[in-house]
Chains A and B, each alone.
Chain A
Amino acid sequence: MEQVNANKKYEDAAKTWEGDFLFVVQPDAELKEPSTMYMDLWHGKCRDAALVKPGEDKKAAFVYSGSYGNWKKLINKQIDPIQGLLTGKFKLKGDMAKVMRAVRAAKELVETASKVPTEFA
C-alpha cells in the first residue's frame, strides 16, 4: 500500500480510477492454501489494503485471480498482465471494458508490485 501511494506514475495513470480489487492467488503444486489480498483503489491512491482471512466473505468490484506460479511470473515480469488474461492464465471478474481503458494504471500497479522485495514460497 505504501509503495502504491508513493508511486507518482501510478497516481497519474489511475487518477480517474474508482474500484476495489480482490487479488486471488490460487493454490498449485507450490502453494497449498489460497490467498487473497484486498485493495481499495481510488483516484490514484490505495485507500485500504489487507489480506482476506480464510472464510471471510469479502466482496469487490473486480476479482483478478491466477495460480501461485503465474503470480510469480507476473511479479517477475515474465507475464504481461493483459496477455495473462488473453491466454487464460489469469481470470478477471468485473467490468472488463473499464480495465481496458486503464491499462496504464494496471501496468503501473504491476510495476509497483514487482519493486516490493518478495520472498516466494
Chain B
Amino acid sequence: MWFFTSPKIAFGEDSLEQLSAIEGKRVLVITDPIVSKLGMLEVVTNELKKEPRTVEVFDQVEAEPSFENVETVAAALRSFQPDLIVALGGGSCIDAAKGAWVLYERPDLKLDAVTPMTKLDLRKKARLVAIPTTAGTGSDATWVAVLTDRSQNMKLDYFASRELVPDYSILNPKFLLKLPKQATSYTGLDAIDQAIEAYVNQWRNDFADGLALRSIQILFEYLPKAFDNPDDLLARQKTQNAATMAGLAFSNSQVGLAHATGHALGAIFHMPHGLAVGISNPYVIQFSSRDAAQLYRDIAHVIGIEEQSDQKATAMLVESIKKLMNHVETPLSLREAGISHSAFLQSLDNLIEQTNRSTCTFVNPRVPDPEEVRKLFVCMYEGQPVDF
C-alpha cells in the first residue's frame, strides 16, 4: 500500500485568477525581498484584493531558510492570525512558509521534532497556497520542507508530512520571465535530478513514474530554450509545469543519494541547492547504475537515446546531462564550482557523516557504505568518473 498526494494545481498565463476563488478573509503573503522588489508581489496582492479581505505581507524570508528565520515568519503569522497563507517565491519561501505554518498551528511543536510520522492536525487555523517563481524546487507540490539547522550546520531533510502539501499550487509562467539565467539553470537541474531520482528510487511507483519520465522529457527540451531566451513564455511554462511534475514525482516516491550529497554540500559550503544537486547527479547515476541501469535506460529512451544496452544507455544519459549542464553554464565538478582543495578535505568527514545520516541515502537504488560515499565525493571534486 502507498499513497499519492497532490495539491490542486492551477496552471497557465491566467492561473492567478484562481486566487479570487480561494476563500480567506485574512491573508498573509510570505515572500523574500527580491520577489518583493521585482513586482511579482504587487501582482499577487492586487489579485487577492479583488475580494473583500485583509492582506498583509512578510517579505523577509532568507535563502536556504534557517530555523531562526522560520521562527520569525511564525511570529508574523501569530501576530496577524491569517486564515490563508500565500507562499510566493522559490523553494526557500515555500519551505519557510511550510515550517512557519506548522509552528503557527502547533505552537507546542519544535521544528526538529516534526517527522513524517508526526500527526500535525494542520488547517485548523489556515490553509496554504504556493505560488512558485522558479521552476525547480517542486516545493509547491511536495510534503517536504528543507530547513537549515545553523547550530548543527546541516539541513534537516526529514521535516515532512503529507499534511504539508499545499492546498493549491498556482503556476504563473509570467513570473519566470524575471528569473535570472543562473537561477534558471540551477533550479532546472534540480528538477531533472528530482525526476531521475524519483524514477530509480526504491520507493518508485507507477503514479510517480509517469510524472517523472514526462518531466525529464520536457526539461531536456525546454530548459536550454528557457536559458537561451528568458523571454520565451512557452519554454518558461513548460519548465514550470515540468518542475511541479518532478516535485509530485519525488514527493510520492523519494529523492535519493544526489539529494543527500547535495544537502550536505549546501549546508557546509553554502552552495545553492540546485547547483549542489546538479553537480552530484551524474556521479550518483554512475554509482547507482550497477543496480539500476535498466531504469536509467528508460530515462535515456525518453530523451531520445535509442541504445538497447542498459550500461551504454546509462553512460550516454550521463553524457547528455553533462552536455546540458555545459549548455546552461553549470560547473561539472566541485573544483570547477570554486571549492578549494583544502576546504574540501577539511570538510570531507562532515560531508560523509551528513550523507550517511540522510534519509535520502537509504532509498537510493544502490546504498553506499561510508567508504563509498568518501570515494564518491572525491570523484565529484576531481570530476572523475565513478568506476567502483
A29 within 8 A of B: no
Contacts of B369 in A (CB 8 A): 9
3 nearest A-B residue pairs (beta carbon): A100-B158, A96-B115, A100-B115
Asked if B2 and A83 make an inter-chain contact with CB atoms under 8 angstroms apart, the answer reads yes
Contact with B along A8-44 (1 / 0, CB 8 A): 0100110000000000000000000000000000000
- The listed residue (A12, A92, A100) touching B359 by CB distance below 8 A is A100
Looking at chain B's contact residues, the main secondary structure is loop
> Shortest beta-carbon distance, B369 to chain A, in Å?
7
Looking at chain A's contact residues, the main secondary structure is helix
The answer to whether residues A86 and B357 also contact, given A80-B202, A100-B158 and a CB cut-off of 8 A, is no
> Shortest beta-carbon distance, A92 to chain B, in Å?
6
A97 within 8 A of B: yes
Contact with A along B348-377 (1 / 0, CB 8 A): 000000001101011100010110000000
CA distance A51 to B128 in the complex (A): 47
A82 within 8 A of B: yes
Contacts of B343 in A (CB 8 A): none
Contact with A along B142-186 (1 / 0, CB 8 A): 000000000000000010000000000000000000000000000
Given A96-B115, A97-B115, A103-B361, 18 new contacts (CB under 8 A): A80-B202, A82-B116, A82-B359, A83-B2, A85-B116, A85-B117, A86-B117, A96-B113, A96-B117, A97-B158, A99-B115, A100-B116, A100-B158, A101-B158, A101-B357, A102-B357, A103-B357, A103-B362
A104 within 8 A of B: yes
Closest to A107 in B: B362
Asked if A104 and B115 make an inter-chain contact with CB atoms under 8 angstroms apart, the answer reads no
Interface, chain A (partner B; CB < 8 A): 9, 12-13, 80, 82-83, 85-87, 89, 92, 96-97, 99-104, 107
Asked if A12 and B117 make an inter-chain contact with CB atoms under 8 angstroms apart, the answer reads no
CA distance A85 to B160 in the complex (A): 13
Asked if A96 and B362 make an inter-chain contact with CB atoms under 8 angstroms apart, the answer reads no
CA distance A82 to B362 in the complex (A): 10
B112 within 8 A of A: yes
Asked if A86 and B116 make an inter-chain contact with CB atoms under 8 angstroms apart, the answer reads yes
- The listed residue (B113, B357, B370) touching A97 by CB distance below 8 A is B113
B229 within 8 A of A: no
Asked if B359 and A96 make an inter-chain contact with CB atoms under 8 angstroms apart, the answer reads no
B43 within 8 A of A: no
B118 within 8 A of A: yes
Q: List 5 A-B contacts (CB under 8 A).
A: A80-B203, A82-B362, A89-B1, A99-B115, A107-B362
- The listed residue (A83, A87, A104) touching B357 by CB distance below 8 A is A104
> Shortest beta-carbon distance, A114 to chain B, in Å?
15
Closest to B113 in A: A97
- The listed residue (A9, A83, A89, A99) touching B203 by CB distance below 8 A is A83
The answer to whether residues A13 and B158 also contact, given A85-B117, A87-B1, A107-B362 and a CB cut-off of 8 A, is no
Contacts of A107 in B (CB 8 A): 362, 367
The answer to whether residues A12 and B370 also contact, given A82-B359, A86-B117, A101-B357 and a CB cut-off of 8 A, is yes
> Shortest beta-carbon distance, A29 to chain B, in Å?
18
CA distance A63 to B113 in the complex (A): 17
Contacts of A102 in B (CB 8 A): 357
CA distance A80 to B361 in the complex (A): 14
> Shortest beta-carbon distance, B56 to chain A, in Å?
32
Closest to A89 in B: B1
Asked if A87 and B2 make an inter-chain contact with CB atoms under 8 angstroms apart, the answer reads yes
CA distance A105 to B53 in the complex (A): 51
> Shortest beta-carbon distance, B351 to chain A, in Å?
15
Contacts of A12 in B (CB 8 A): 370
Asked if A92 and B356 make an inter-chain contact with CB atoms under 8 angstroms apart, the answer reads no
The answer to whether residues A92 and B117 also contact, given A9-B369, A12-B370, A104-B361 and a CB cut-off of 8 A, is yes
> Shortest beta-carbon distance, B163 to chain A, in Å?
13
